[in-house]
Chain A
Amino acid sequence: MDKPQLIEHLHESLNYTVYDTKWVPLSAKFVVLGAKANGHGIMDIYELNKDKLEKVKSVEKKVAFKCGTFGAASLRNRHMAIGDFEGRLQVLDLEQPDLPVYNVKAHSAIINTIDAIGGTQIDCGAPEIVTGSRDGAVKVWDIRQGQAPVVDMSPPPQMGDGVNSARRDCWAVAFGNAYNAEERIVAAGYDNGDLKIFDLRSLSVRWEATMKNGICGLEFDRRDIPMNKLAVTTLEGGLLVFDMRTQHPTKGFSYVEERNAGRSVGTNGVISGPKATVWVVRHLPQNRDLFLTGGGTGSIRLWDYEYPDKRVIDDADGNRLGVAGTMHMVSAATLSSQPVHCFDWHPDKLGLAICGAFDQSVRVLITTKLNTY
C-alpha cells in the first residue's frame, strides 16, 4: 500500500466531554478543553512520552470551555486563547493558568468558535483573535487593546439581544489573507448556511453567499498568504472548497463540492445510513493541498485538492472567473461511533495529529506516507 494510512497511535479515555484539542506549538504537549458533567470547564495538558501519554497538568474552572487556539501566541510565550460557554474570552499562560493574561466578557452567549493569527509570523500584522458566538456576533480582539473588540461584526440591535431572538448563530470563523501588515480577512459561517467574508482593512463585507446547510467548519488553507483556498463544511455532509484567488463581479468565488463527505463510505464504497454532518476541516500544515475532515459518523477522511490547468478564465463579458480544481479522497478510517468534531495537526511534525470525539476520548493519530504528496 503506497497511499497514506491513518493509524491510531494512542487513545485516552476521559471522564468529561471534549470540545477542543490543540497541540502546544513546538512541543510534544497538547491541550484538551472540555466540560465536566457538573458544567465546570476543564483544561488538561498531556505530553507524549515515548509510547505513553502523560498528564502534565489539569485545571478546572467554573465555566465549561468550548474552544481554544494558539494562533496569536508567539513561540516564546505560547499563551492559549480560550472561549467558554458564557461568552468569556480569556488568554491563559499554560504555566500559570489560574491568572488569565487577558480576560473579557466578549459575547452574551457561548463562544462557538475561535481563530487567531499573527503570533508566529513576522511582518504579517498584529496578533489578533476572532470569536464567533451564538449571539450572532463575530468580534476581533487585540489583547493590547483592553475590553473592547477592535472590529465588531454584530447584527443590528433591533434583532434582539442574542439570547432569545432571531439572530443567527455563528458556528465557524477563520482568518485569512494576512500576507502583509494591512490585509486581513475574516470568514464567518452561520447556522442558516450564510457565509460572509469580511475585509478588515476596508471594514466591509467583501462577499456573501448562502450554502444549503448550516456551516460547521471553515478554514483557509493558509492564513498568512494571499487567499488561496477556503474549505467549508456543513450539516448534511457538505464539503466545499472555494478558489479564493479570483472574485468574479457577479458570480463570486468558484468552488468544488462534495456531498456526503460526512457519512461513512463503508468498506465497499457504498454510502449508507443517514446524512451526517462534517464537523471539522483541517489543512495539513506542511502541505496546504491535503486536508482532513471529521464526520458525524465517527470517521475521518483525508482529501487531496488538485488545481485545474488554468485557475482563471475570462468569461463572455471579459471578467475574470476563477476555476475550481478537483478533490480526491485519499484515505478514510472510522475512529468512533460518535462524531469526530475536533482535530489538530501538529504544526511541526508531519503526520502527527490529535483528535477528539464525542465518545469522551482523545486519540493521537499518525498518518503515514504524507510526504509522497
Chain B
Amino acid sequence: MQSEKKKTLLEKYEIPISHLDFAYVETCKNAREMEKIVHILRSGEEGYFPDLLRCSEEKLKLLKPDSKLFRYEENIKKSDILDKKELKPILDWTQDIKTKDSALNELKNEKQSLDLPSIRKLGKIELDKPSPEPAKPTPAASSQPAKAKESRIKSTDYSKWDKYDPDEEILRMDLDEERSKEEADLKISIKDKPATKKELKDEKQAMYERLQTQLKRLSQLEREQFADKHRLRGNEYFKAKEYDSAIEEYNCAILYDPENAARSYNNRAISYMKQSNYVAAIMDCEACLQLEPENIKARLRLADANYARGKRRESYYLYQRVLELDPENASAKQSLKNLNSQLGELAPASATRLMIEELKPDADAGKPKEKTEVKPPADKQTTVVKKVPPPVAKKPTLAKKPTVADAPPVKEYDLAELVKPNRVVNSKLVSAAQALGNKFQAPQGNSPKKPVQSNLPSNEAMPAMFRMPQDNLNTSNKLLIQEI
C-alpha cells in the first residue's frame, strides 16, 4: 500500500505501534494523540480493526467532540427523500412569490421618485504608488540613519561627550516612539471617529425623518420587504448579543411596516429585556399583543418582564393567560410553580408595609404608645408592630381598609420574630398586643389621628408574616386579629 519512500502515518505521527491498543486508548487523555490514532486506524495502513476503531472514535468523541475527524460528507440527496410535507412549503412559496412578482412588474410602470444620493465625485485610488500613510515611514527611515551619522559622537571626542545628556536622549527616543504610535492611532481613528452621543442621536432622528418621507413613496409590498430585512438583521445582532444595534434595526422594521410589526415588537421586547429595560419591554409586548392577541411568546415575555420588574402578582395572572393558550407551556408552568411557592409570602397588590421603629426617648414626654397595624389583605396579613411618637401622624390608615371578604383563614403570627430585631422584650408582647388591639379599634373611627408610617410601599422584599407562639397569644388577641 505505501511505497518504501513514503512514511506511514505511524511514523509521521511518531506514535509507537503499542499505542494502537484497547488498554492505551482507554487511558489516553490527549485529544490530539487520539485524533492521530483514529486517523491511523481509519487509513487502514496498519490493518483493519473495526472494534478498536470504534472504541477509539468513542474515546475521541469524549475528548474532543468537535474534532475535524467527525466531519463527513455524502453525495447529495435528491428531493424525493423529503416528505411531501416538507416540500409543500416550497411549492406554496412559489405560488406566493409569483403573485408578488407580478405585482412588482405592475409597479414597474409607475414612476418612482426616490431621492437617491447624488453621484460620487470622480476619484482614483492609486494602487502601487505609495499612499501617504506608508510613505511616511520610508522617509523617516531613510533620514534617521543620516541623522544618526551626524549625531554620532566619536569615542575619543571627549568635549562632546561632556555635553552629552543621556536623559535627554532617552526622552527623545520616548517621544519618537510616542509619535509613531500616535500616527498609527491616527490612521485608524480617522476612519472611525467616535461621534458624540448627541450627534448620533441627532443623526438618527434625521434619518428617521428622511425615512418617513421616503416611505410614502413605497408600495406596501416594498415596505414589507424592507421591514423584513431589517427584522432579520435585528435578529442577527440579537444573536451576536449586540442589543443596541438590534433595537435600532427593529425600530426601522416597525417604522417601515407598522401594521405587520408584531414580530418586530416582540423581538424588540426581548432585546429590551436583555438590557433590563423592562418598562420598554412591557410596552412592546403590549403593542405586539394588540396586533396579535394570540401571540404566546409575547404573552410569556410580558409575564416575564412584569416578574422581572417585581410585579409578581401581575405576572402570576399573565402566566395563567399564557397557559390559557398553551396549557403545555413548560416555561410558564415553571414560573407559575415558582410563583406559587413564593405566593405564600407574597403580599397583595394593595398591601403596604409598616415600619417598626424604635421610639426616640426625647420625641415625646408621654408614655410611648405601642401601635400595631394589622393589614389584613387578601391572602396574608401584614401585621406591623410599631412604636411611634404620636405627633408624627402621617397617613390615614383608612385608605387601606381590610378586605375581609376574600381573606383566607388567619394564620398564626409570630410576633417574636418580628420583635427581636427591634429589641422589644418578649414578655411585654402580650400586653403590647392587647394595647394594640384596643388602639386599633379606636382609630377605625378617627383615622386621621392614627400614626401609620407607610414609607415602604413595596412589601415583596420581606415576608411580613408573624407567627406568635401559642402561649403568648391570648384568645382575645387572636379574636381581634381574626375580626380584622
Contacts and interface: CB of A to CB of B under 8 A. Distances in A.
A126 B91 contact: no
B392 interface: no
Contact of B225 (A75, A144, A155, A270): A75
B101 A265 contact: no
Contacts of B23: none
Nearest to B68: A269
Contact of A225 (B71, B98, B233): B233
Given A27-B98, A249-B185, A289-B239, A333 B117 contact: no
Nearest to B105: A95
Interface stretch (A5-13, A106-114, A230-238, A273-281): A5-13
A203 B97 contact: no
A333 B119 contact: no
B127 A126 contact: no
Nearest to A268: B42
Interface string B46-80: 00000000000000000000111111111111110
Contacts of A6: 76-77
B10 interface: no
B191 interface: yes
B95 to A, nearest CB: 9
A49 interface: yes
A282 interface: no
Interface in A18-50: 26-29, 48-50
B32 interface: no
Nearest to B210: A123
A148 B122 contact: yes
Contacts of B190: 202
B124 A151 contact: yes
B90 A352 contact: yes
Interface residues of B, number: 74
Interface stretch (B81-89, B316-324, B354-362, B449-457): B81-89
Contact of B82 (A7, A50, A203): A7
Interface on chain A toward B: helix, strand, loop, or mixed SS? loop
A335 B76 contact: yes
Interface in A82-127: 120-123, 125-127
B98 A181 contact: no
Given A153-B125, A205-B125, A269-B70, A8 B239 contact: no
A75 B222 contact: yes
A333 B74 contact: yes
B275 interface: no
A372 interface: no
Nearest to A201: B191
A269 B98 contact: no
Interface of A: 5-10, 26-29, 48-51, 74-78, 120-123, 125-128, 136, 140, 142, 144-145, 148-156, 159, 180-181, 196, 198-200, 202-206, 222, 225, 247, 249-250, 264-270, 285-289, 299, 301, 307, 317, 319, 328-329, 332-335, 348-349, 352, 365-366, 368
29 contacts: A9-B90, A28-B101, A49-B94, A122-B114, A128-B120, A144-B119, A150-B119, A150-B120, A150-B123, A151-B125, A203-B123, A204-B125, A204-B131, A204-B132, A249-B184, A249-B185, A267-B73, A268-B42, A269-B68, A269-B72, A270-B39, A270-B69, A287-B236, A289-B236, A301-B73, A332-B73, A334-B75, A349-B93, A365-B76
Given A76-B104, A202-B191, A335-B76, 19 more contacts: A5-B77, A26-B97, A27-B101, A28-B101, A149-B122, A150-B120, A156-B128, A200-B120, A204-B125, A204-B131, A205-B125, A222-B236, A249-B184, A249-B187, A265-B72, A268-B69, A333-B76, A333-B77, A334-B73
